[in-house]
Amino acid sequence: MYLKQYYIMKKAMICLVLILPFMLLAQAKNDPKKILMVVSSYGKDLGETRPGYEFDEFTQAYLIFKKNGLVVDVASPKGGSVEADQFNKDKIYNQAVLNDQEVMKVLRSTLATSEVDPSGYDAVYVVGGKGAMFDLPYDPSLQDILLNLYRREGTVISAVCHGPAAFVNVKDGDKFIIEGIEMTGFCNLEEDLFGKKWVKEFPFRLEDQLKARGAVFSQADFMLSGVAVSRKFITGQNPFSTTGSAEAVVKALGITPAPRDLYKDERSIYLVQEVSDGKRSFESAVVELEKNQAAYDMPLIAVWGYYKILASAEDQNEMKKGVKMVELSMPYFFDENLQMVLAQAYQSLGEKEKATEILEDLIAKNLLKDKASSLLQELGKN
């Protein structure tokens, strides 16, 4: 009898040994992936005294990670409460996080990077904002976290906007970890257009420093979506690259991103990008806005065109792209300063009749009357 029980137990143990690896593999597949989001500790007074992190970038990425089943922790160099720059609380993604008491509690009690065990994470995502330029590149604990993920197989290192500043001082031996990596981030043109308040105080310009460390810098046009995926690195160029970079992280972790509705500003930037890149005709965009006006952020489309005109004084072909975006938005959005810039662009492009029409309309509405009259007289002389 005892001999029979012995053989039964032996057989059971053999079966267990045979199936244990498969049980462990199945368990590993079912374990949720874990990501560490990193934000700057530098912010103070909503970015007035010291710039902080970008709330829009945090919320959009966080919501995508949670929607796709990732376990999310949040860390900062100092730990504790972190402060974002001013942001629009009415944006749907910001409302979703502001109304989530659990994540707001996390933002009031972030992990200090010195307390983080990086071995427990599959990915890191560094949120941008101008504050990232001041503290993240010089945090030794964050450098240790990044180096740990860099050396482990199957991990993802990612950042958006100014977030890649965290990478510039990280070395593996004598080599910077971003050497030879295609990478993007807030580019020099974007700094020139939108970074005037703080850029003069930055320790470096992000684009220049990434190149100096051996990264291969790539970029889309300013404030359009640009995402670079290179080996285990994923970077997004600017705030409008947040959703694209976050979903690229999800894909890199072996997860198919869950379907979702595009945000109005996201959809608007994609439309601008498609028309600007020649992937969509202007006429098609006109029809799309006529049919789905409520789905788009018209002021955003107009403002992109405004800055494109200002940034393209020496290149008429690029200026025309800005003009097209302003024209797209004109039936839905009016601003006298924008109209004046459009009239000046028409003048530069030799489209005198269009410029005259706008200037006469401004004068009739008693808007920027002196400036419009002066430009109209100048057109009459030519």
- The pLDDT score that the predictor gives to residue 27 is 43
pTM: 0.91
- The pLDDT score that the predictor gives to residue 289 is 98
| Start-end of H helices in the chain | 2-30, 55-67, 92-98, 101-107, 132-135, 140-151, 188-194, 206-212, 242-252, 264-276, 282-291, 298-311, 316-329, 336-348, 352-364, 369-381
Domain presence at residue 80 = yes
Domain presence at residue 2 = no
Domain count, the chain: 2
- The pLDDT score that the predictor gives to residue 381 is 73
Calpha distance 224→205 (Å, rounded): 19
Domain match, 364 and 299 both: yes
- Cβ 272 vs Cβ 325: under 8 Å: yes
Domain presence at residue 24 = no
Calpha distance 359→343 (Å, rounded): 7
Domain match, 155 and 302 both: no
Indicate which CATH number applies to the domain containing 300: 1.25.40.10
Q: What is the mean pLDDT of the chain?
A: 94
Domain match, 222 and 108 both: yes
Calpha distance 36→295 (Å, rounded): 32
**Which one of 187, 219, 252 terminates a domain?**
252
Domain match, 113 and 153 both: yes
Domain match, 283 and 348 both: yes
Calpha distance 260→346 (Å, rounded): 40
**Which one of 201, 222, 252 terminates a domain?**
252
Calpha distance 303→321 (Å, rounded): 12
* HSE-CB of 61 using CA atoms within 13 angstroms: 36
Domain match, 274 and 180 both: no
> What's the domain range around 351?
264-381
CB atoms within 10 A of CB 92: 13
Q: Which residues of the chain have pLDDT under 50?
A: 3, 23-28
Domain presence at residue 6 = no
- Cβ 343 vs Cβ 375: under 8 Å: yes
Domain presence at residue 275 = yes
Domain match, 118 and 58 both: yes
Domain presence at residue 10 = no
**Which one of 252, 287, 322 terminates a domain?**
252
| Start-end of H helices in 31-129 | 55-67, 92-98, 101-107
Domain match, 375 and 351 both: yes
Domain match, 289 and 218 both: no
Domain match, 91 and 194 both: yes
Domain presence at residue 15 = no
Domain match, 376 and 346 both: yes
Domain presence at residue 257 = no
Domain match, 60 and 86 both: yes
